[in-house]
Amino acid sequence: MTSALRDTTSLYTYAGSTRQRQPAYTGDMPRSPVPTADGYIVPIHFGGAVDWDGVSDFIGAPTLKDGAFATPESRFDNAQALQEALEDGMTTWRKFDLMREAHKRRGHIYGVVHSPAEVLASEQYAARGYFSDIDHPVIGEATYPGAPFIMSDSPWRAGSPAPLLGEHNREVLCDRLGLSLEDLNILTASGVV
């Protein structure tokens, strides 16, 4: 959850600013998933203002060159139509093809939204040994995510399965939080834990 917050926490911590919800259509390049022919992609453009004519030529969306999208104000006023024009162009692409071609262009970074099957089949994750197969006492062998990064002086690997429901209640509630065994029994009997 923390990683999903992106810069929200640091923005508040260092600048005292609070992020606000954005309207569904902003009149700018979306920073949320946009459909492609076979999934979704998140387009991000760096280096100042978006070159809309360049994006139009790149993704094959000639309507982006329409006068309704010529200025920031007109893009804002026609934000939903702009989103639809972008989607019309991007849905002609397969997501990995669009990502690779975008990365050949200065200022374009298009991130692919992976399906769970694509995550498990990722050559990058396989090459770095990210996933670990661990035996679980109820479901048998299961694939678990591994270390988020690799540190040579302090290596880490997933070594135990996900806990069973209530497996560590005594350790957490009694040993760490100081509840008595009688309190734990009452909570268990009453269905709280």
Give 148-186 pLDDT, tens digit per residue. 888 888 888 777 888 898 999 999 999 999 999 999 999
Could you give the CA distance from residue 40 to residue 177 in angstroms, rounded to a whole number? Answer: 44
* 105 and 78 housed in the same domain: yes
* 45 and 97 housed in the same domain: yes
Over residues 27-55, mean pLDDT: 86
**12 in Cβ contact with 69 (< 8 Å):** no
Question: Residue 63 pLDDT more than 60?
Answer: yes
pLDDT value for 15: 78
8-state DSSP, 181:
H
pLDDT top residue among 74 and 21: 74
Instruction: Pull the structure tokens for residue 154.
Output: 């302090």
Side chain identity, residue 31: R
Last residue of a domain, one of 50, 82, 112: 112
* 45 and 100 housed in the same domain: yes
Q: How does strand 34-36 pair with strand 108-113?
A: unpaired
* 45 is a domain residue: yes
Question: How confident is residue 1, by pLDDT bands cut at 50, 70 and 90?
Answer: very low
pLDDT value for 100: 94
Question: Residue 40 pLDDT more than 90?
Answer: yes
* Residues spanned by the domain of 121: 114-153
- How many structural domains are present in the chain? 3
8-state DSSP, 64:
G
Could you give the CA distance from residue 86 to residue 41 in angstroms, rounded to a whole number? Answer: 12
Over residues 68-80, mean pLDDT: 91
* 103 and 40 housed in the same domain: yes
* 8 is a domain residue: no
For position 66, which CATH number holds? 3.30.1540.10
* 80 and 141 housed in the same domain: no
* 35 and 92 housed in the same domain: yes
Could you give the CA distance from residue 173 to residue 53 in angstroms, rounded to a whole number? Answer: 61
* 72 is a domain residue: yes
To which residue do tokens 């946009």 refer? 34
pLDDT value for 181: 95
Report phi then psi at 23, rounded to 5. Answer: -65, 160
Could you give the CA distance from residue 76 to residue 82 in angstroms, rounded to a whole number? Answer: 9
